[in-house]
A and B are shown apart, each in its own frame.
Chain A
Amino acid sequence: MTARSKLRRVWVGHLWRWHRRLGLLASCLVLLIALTGFLLNHADEWGWDKQHLHSSWLLKSYGVEVPTEFVGQKLFDRWWVLANEQLFLQNEEVARCGDAWKGVVATQHMVIAACEHKIALFTAEGELIEVMNSMPSSGLRGIGLLSETLLLIQYEGKAFQFDLMSFSVAPVDSKPTTLQTLPPAPKALAKIISSQYSVPGLTWERFVQDLHAGRWFGGWGWVLVDLTALFLVMLSLTGVLLYSLHRRKA
């Protein structure tokens, strides 16, 4: 055996060893990226883009602490619970708002809930009647009833009355005493609501996207994705080298 062919055998041995190691390292990351990529491709079909994350552990990984206590109001013998951006009738979500719900009151015929962006009217059974989404100001503090057809919308230092029939809004003298103080919801109910708590924008699609891009693994997650790309490049190069050395030998 000549010195040259000996050197070549050593080289090939090294290349094979590194090729195998790189393949093993890359395989885990490639599997993760391929699998999450496959799931992302079908997220629309499977409705994952609309299904919110409810797991307290996953929400915590995004810095969201799931509350264990909620306030609400018992109206028509059932609890209407304000869970940040979600509004529940007993343990069923009936509406969402892009901001926290601030109050819920009832007339003889309907339930009215308000958040920063809208006022929503419901039947006693929780069916949505209509939404008013043109709020007169920003910084909503709460709502109260002025009469069977007039709702008080209270802001810091100013207030408006909202006609529930014509949907017209007019400024009124501030009457903060009319505002309700919401009692805490029963603990058993709060526990169920906690398990259904979610945050807008945090869907399963978002979670898979963050896994796919390595963002979910924290500040250095992107390094994983970069490493995968690097491993794949090196795997290809060592593969090509091994192939060409093998061919030359043959």
Chain B
Amino acid sequence: MKLIKYFSILLLFGVGLAQADQVFYTTEQFLQRAFPQGSPSSNVVWLTDQHKQRGKELLGHAPAGLRLRYWAQEGRSAWVVDEIGKEHPITIGVVIEQNQIQMVEILVFRESRGGEVRYDFFKKQFVGAQLNEEDRLNKNIDGISGATLSVNAVTAVARWVLYLHGQVAA
């Protein structure tokens, strides 16, 4: 019985370790990179039924929340979105200008696997990507074996944010 308890505690400790947040950037640090001249104050976009329907198509599920915060200045917008890879939300920052992705950054990674999406070789693939008529990115994004769900989450957020940028910029 003692062994079982000891093992259970070890197991839960393991679960806890697996869930430890890996914070790479705070929102403020991300905004400093997005707007080196000084970050603007935030705006919100209220998610209408139409937005939610499009969100469902682009993300694969209805977006959480009634509104989403973004920062915009001279046609450039920055977004911070949480998206679940497998079990835990990945906090993803995306910067868009002229309907093209300028930067994708992983702010916080909480999953136990798939953390390779934080590396530059993966994130740089998104630079210059736009939404095409079929709501897909017009650039091919190479997957990472063992990180499929995290790759899907980042790709889905990129598509969703490109759509939202189009909505707020219009």
Which A residues form the contact surface with B (CB < 8 A)?
Answer: 49-50, 61-64, 98, 117, 123, 127-131, 133-134, 166-168, 199-203, 210, 215, 218-221
Contact = CB atoms under 8 A, between A and B. Distances in A.
Interface residues of B, number: 34
A63 B15 CA distance: 13
Given A64-B12, A167-B42, A128 B66 contact: yes
B5 A63 contact: yes
A121 to B, nearest CB: 9
B19 A98 contact: yes
B40 to A, nearest CB: 11
A128 B68 CA distance: 11
B9 to A, nearest CB: 5
Contact of B8 (A49, A61, A98): A61
Given A131-B82, A167-B42, A98 B9 contact: no
A131 B67 CA distance: 9
A129 B86 contact: no
Contacts of A219: 3-4, 6-7
Q: Which 3 A-B pairs have the closest CB atoms?
A: A219-B3, A63-B8, A218-B4
B18 A98 contact: no
A110 to B, nearest CB: 10
A49 B86 contact: yes
8 contacts: A123-B66, A130-B69, A133-B82, A166-B42, A168-B42, A200-B15, A200-B87, A220-B3
A131 B65 contact: yes
The SS class assigned to the B binding surface is mixed
A98 B26 contact: no
Contacts of B19: 98, 200-201
Contact of B91 (A62, A129, A133, A199): A133
Given A127-B66, A200-B15, A117 B21 contact: yes
Given A200-B19, A203-B87, A219-B3, 20 more contacts: A50-B87, A63-B5, A63-B8, A63-B11, A98-B19, A98-B21, A129-B65, A130-B68, A131-B65, A131-B82, A134-B26, A167-B69, A168-B41, A168-B42, A201-B18, A201-B87, A202-B15, A215-B11, A218-B7, A219-B4
A130 B8 contact: no
Contact of A62 (B8, B21, B65): B8
Given A62-B8, A219-B7, A98 B82 contact: no
B11 to A, nearest CB: 6
A197 to B, nearest CB: 15
B27 interface: yes
A134 B87 contact: no
Contacts of A221: 7
B169 interface: no
Nearest to A120: B65
Nearest to B64: A128
Contacts of A64: 12
B108 A133 contact: yes
Nearest to B149: A44
Contacts of B66: 123, 127-130
B134 interface: no
B15 to A, nearest CB: 4
Contacts of A134: 26-28, 80
B88 interface: yes
Contacts of B165: none
B101 to A, nearest CB: 22
B126 to A, nearest CB: 22
A98 B11 contact: no
B159 interface: no
A167 B68 CA distance: 12
A215 B7 contact: yes
A197 B67 CA distance: 29
B19 to A, nearest CB: 6
B13 to A, nearest CB: 10
